[in-house]
Structure 1
């Protein structure tokens, strides 16, 4: 008998005696004493938002008056002096300052004077490599991108434009050409990395351009209640609500949870990786023509195709009386994973589904017997493809 217990919403839990906090570690448990680790647990449970907190040793002097003036004119159509409210109270109401008069993290990152002086982890390490190896020693361009989030976003786009090809594609000789990858995908994924990154750690956003791909690496994997499949359907969790709010008012960002969906549907092949071991979220945009065109066999699935696969597999699997609801759900999840990542390994399927190696082998055999998926190529270099009965359902 298997009992599924849903994750609680009031973590971290404390012991009745002494209020101690324990976490599971392998077959044992360990007590948490480190303040940062405790804060991370509150952060991940949605009870603590660092972007609304004050940054130590800052004040209103660390905020750019000119940037704030532009914000007021754009957002309200009048200056801050036109409000019948003291400036300090007005800034606190807008979450630019906390109750102690310190600049909030969100205020500093959007309206600060050189935010990296106080928060050095909030920058972008951008490198254009020679070749396709991250450990390579040769590069064409390398720069540390600093400033407010809107400034870093603009600089990151310019870095990409300067290091990517521009294609003529039927335009006149005097045209600037079209960027070789989807500009929409580039804009959405860079914004996503800057606004939805984890804010408690010391790591920076990384932007790597290789000969065959662009990698955008953001600190912090997806929150516990999100998966790649869920965000592809437009679901979202605002890890940094104040950053999202300022972003929606100062940048081409709407905060509707559809940025990843737009990136995927924009024309370039986009691959997403929620790297739990390294605590990173990595988005890849493929450059070379062999990877650039979307196809049902090797593309990250669009939301429409996710829905079609779920509906089709559900109908086919429900015809088998020997399958429980839980097994049908796992088989659906595995089909989605295989469809979106044909090169996925058995080890990765075990990690994603939280099932045993034996169960994964059993389930892939079931899907093959039902002619939903099939394996092509060798064990080392081959991959999975959808069979015709599922492939014909895709758009």
Structure 2
């Protein structure tokens, strides 16, 4: 039996189960559903809306979609049959309770969706230890796929989660922290600036296998083997979307790449700088796959001109095929984008240290106030 009882300025859920009384918070911590309308069975109450499950004696959450526990109140039996609920005001003021975080320390390398999903899943599975995410970015994890679609977007508008969320579930994110080494014997991650972090479990979520372990962390294959053979902790490699991989964006090994106003797109700072620079300017984009085409679509209404040069004969040829690629090329051309296909960029020319022209393999030159590489 369950009843919702007024206690002071708040409410509590009074439960009688197998002859014993207990009292917990009256609202589900997921979306605030009244637990009195839920199902009581085997010492647990299940939320009537989405099924989150709470222990009626401890208030601990035992099944998601919720993350947080409900408060637990004391029960006193007076005169043999009077049930009195004793609750502190702070517990009545909120319907959520966070369990103390102790135990193992999980370190996650990488600041993308894979890292956030890993950390959230650990909490959802009732992991109560310490979680630290080491991110090379300067801001909280964000939806990187939106950068090429809305290039003037501010970082906080595309955060995957706000800072308040990480604070609430005790996930620590350290920005501007690029990992450079993993010591498998001492179980320590060392970062570019010299900081080190000891871990019990380690997750590397930086992209594909080679980029994550060879290029980014400079680990030998012997070290990689030690990581996977060590049963005291584990390393999981998450393969991110190949269109938006981890690591650093590719540049072009051509003369003039070090000129000013030559961009790659990786961070909100990159996107904002491109958007600001492109207004009423001549833009040349190298690459006609997802990044290049989305950047072209985003800038064509703002720039004086947008030209796309590509090694293949139509956009998206390798991933979507010729027919779809040709359709999308015509769609972009109808908006004003110019295409130069079967035309690799071989050189950038400059004036006073800034890019002024892009030279294609057939010798033709495109006037350029800025150049953007979308080549992976």
User: TM-score by structure 1 length?
Assistant: 0.29
Q: Which is helix-richer, 1 or 2?
A: 1
Larger Rg, first or second structure (1 or 2): 2
Q: Which is strand-richer, 1 or 2?
A: 2
User: TM-score by structure 2 length?
Assistant: 0.30
